[in-house]
Structure 1
């Protein structure tokens, strides 16, 4: 495919224009010409990128590849009086929309309940990507890709979008002035407008990410709490694992222990994990699941919260994308699923009947227990690598 760009404008002869021509020997500012040879006619690709400095013809090239109607723009797509979870693919399924939001790293559930106009630039960027993923056009061109967000969000967002888009049947051309996303995006082809060179395939490896893991208390929870999908305080009788990248805390998990009934074998101890939070700038990079699996493997090996005690770990969540990820992972087994919370009356009865309950002469009995919500909570147990789920 050959794309030829020829832009023309009037030759102005005002005082300032004439002085600029004289000072800088710029005799003609009326012409812009660019010819791009793109070897993409075979259609055997999913993601291409046109990259180069501002003013080098990227938008013009993108609008000529399939026509301007395929150039994505947020204008007119986002209503002012509806949350983004309603605005994205309104005729589609709830699971598909929330999956798209999770796939591009917009896992902050409270942001799903806000209209597009009040989101931050980083959230808007990911919301636009989620909309493209959910609506799955056959062809789409995205201008100013990652231009309005900080570089960390840009790199992780590029990786998250590429991973999600490759699951769709469509083709996407991205237009960007930033070269730092190429290794994270891993495009099928690259056209550089500054050198006018076309490259099929991207052979550079994605930069490695090293996560340092520390165990401690709940002192960093206020940093992560605004990004947790529930209003929940610290987990009682537990400690925390924190993952840091370049010294910055990016992922959090609380781990406690509980007694379990082993039937004829008596009782045992099992770990209980909760409050898994990944900071927004790292959502979509796959850090959360790898971190969760690593911490749960520590418990299984007896190197966790109770050193020397080998424990399985149970984990409960109602986040639909996290549930789906846990079901896909062969190291996990689903052990429960409830469409709503437990009966408050039964909970209150159990509290009063306990050895420290108020039914033992310690004040007025409680009248309402825990539960009663309509949150679909699902439970999973980490079983670790086995002969059946370990690749050969």
Structure 2
């Protein structure tokens, strides 16, 4: 694909209103309305994974993409009205593959996976549609109105998550958008701007903008904002110490910690960690979890039990965590201290893994939070 000439014509029906319009603005009498583009996209010259066609509304993005990528253009998907979104993915995909793909594009909330498409938020629908496009069109997927229906902060984070997934899966993806603010976050291999007829390779990769987190100590009532997105129950211990991560002043992730009493080796345990759907896919939840762990490890051992596949995968590869029990099921047990705390393990019967934080401690920050 190098040079393509595209011509679109439509007849002009000279109704009374059209004739009036011609007179008002001195328009020439035309039998046909014609628009044409000469597009030069030398995509065969380099290997690529991600492309971006960007420009203002009306510049021809959709028309050009439909002509160039006839079979790969994603219009819409049919979703079940009552069934879960996971039932909308190809039948040959296993549930682990589906959930891994959903997590990779930043939609990592098991409770939301159970819901039908039409009840999801705009941000969730955006991520689910991208995941299905990558599942059903592994060769090349072309998506129009990319990030148009979501908040701009969500758009940037979602673009970063999608880009990471596309490159990891070695797929090809072309986004059509009128928003330039996603450019550094999507980090495309090539950009085409129809309004100025300019094509550009990004030969030198630029690092994506960093995401700054403000982490604060909060009352456990902050859990109300996060509870419905947790993959277990929505309860929280009364004794939990809670932390909130803010992105540009907006709540993004939550972590709670409890003391785990033991006769010989008492420790602290991660109790709840949740990242809101709009901020998933770029590691904010893990960053908060590890920051909090680095505070508490200055005082006692810090452990965590998780059944979330994405978190298990991350920690198994991380140098900051040591796996002390590989993924397995555990039987429900009620120990002396558990009875004393009125706490019963909620991991019984599920596949979970146990980890101990072994990364460096942050003594100065721990003092600032009053932990040492």
Coarse TM-score class (shorter-chain normalised)? 0.7 to 0.9
* Residues 1:272 and 2:269 aligned together: yes
Q: Determine helix, strand or coil for the equivalent of 2:185.
A: helix
Per the alignment, do residues 95 and 372 of structure 1 end up closer, same or farther by CA in structure 2, a change over 3 Å counting? Answer: closer
Equivalent residue pairs, number: 357
Per the alignment, do residues 318 and 165 of structure 1 end up closer, same or farther by CA in structure 2, a change over 3 Å counting? Answer: same
CA shift, 1:353, in A, is 11
**Conserved? CA contact 1:98–1:321, under 8 Å:** no
Q: Determine helix, strand or coil for the equivalent of 1:30.
A: strand
**Conserved? CA contact 2:262–2:337, under 8 Å:** no
Q: Name the structure 2 match of 1:327.
A: 316
2: CA distance, partners of 1:102 / 1:369: 28
2: CA distance, partners of 1:79 / 1:144: 23
Stretches of structure 2 lacking an aligned partner (at least 5 in a row): 362-372
Per the alignment, do residues 139 and 369 of structure 1 end up closer, same or farther by CA in structure 2, a change over 3 Å counting? Answer: closer
CA shift, 1:236, in A, is 4.1
**Conserved? CA contact 1:72–1:140, under 8 Å:** yes
Q: Determine helix, strand or coil for the equivalent of 2:47.
A: coil
Per the alignment, do residues 353 and 220 of structure 1 end up closer, same or farther by CA in structure 2, a change over 3 Å counting? Answer: closer
Per the alignment, do residues 113 and 152 of structure 1 end up closer, same or farther by CA in structure 2, a change over 3 Å counting? Answer: same
Per the alignment, do residues 10 and 294 of structure 1 end up closer, same or farther by CA in structure 2, a change over 3 Å counting? Answer: same
Q: Name the structure 2 match of 1:382.
A: 357
* Residues 1:18 and 2:48 aligned together: no
Stretches of structure 1 lacking an aligned partner (at least 5 in a row): 262-266, 303-308, 358-365, 387-392
The alignment yields a C-alpha RMSD, in angstroms, of 2.6
Per the alignment, do residues 351 and 257 of structure 1 end up closer, same or farther by CA in structure 2, a change over 3 Å counting? Answer: closer
TM-score relative to the length of structure 2: 0.88
Q: Once structures 1 and 2 are overlaid, which stretch shifts more, 81-90 or 238-247?
A: 81-90
Map 1:39-58 to 2 at 5 A. Answer: 39-58=42-61
Per the alignment, do residues 289 and 26 of structure 1 end up closer, same or farther by CA in structure 2, a change over 3 Å counting? Answer: farther
Q: Stretches of 4+ moved more than 6 A in 1?
A: none
Q: Which has the higher Rg, Structure 1 or Structure 2?
A: 1
* Residues 1:138 and 2:103 aligned together: no
1: CA distance, partners of 2:205 / 2:224: 41
Map 1:1-392 to 2 at 5 A. Answer: 1-27=2-28, 30-66=33-69, 68-76=70-78, 78-135=79-136, 137-201=138-202, 205-260=207-262, 267-300=264-297, 302=298, 309=299, 311-337=300-326, 339-343=328-332, 346-347=333-334, 350=335, 373-384=348-359
2: CA distance, partners of 1:46 / 1:79: 31
**Conserved? CA contact 1:351–1:369, under 8 Å:** no
1:57-100 alpha-carbon deviations (Å, 9 max, x no partner): 1122212324x111123233x23342112222321222211111
1:186-243 alpha-carbon deviations (Å, 9 max, x no partner): 0000001121111111766533321111123302111111221122312242211111
1: CA distance, partners of 2:338 / 2:223: 33
Per the alignment, do residues 374 and 290 of structure 1 end up closer, same or farther by CA in structure 2, a change over 3 Å counting? Answer: same
**Conserved? CA contact 1:89–1:97, under 8 Å:** no
Q: Determine helix, strand or coil for the equivalent of 2:71.
A: helix
Q: Determine helix, strand or coil for the equivalent of 2:220.
A: coil
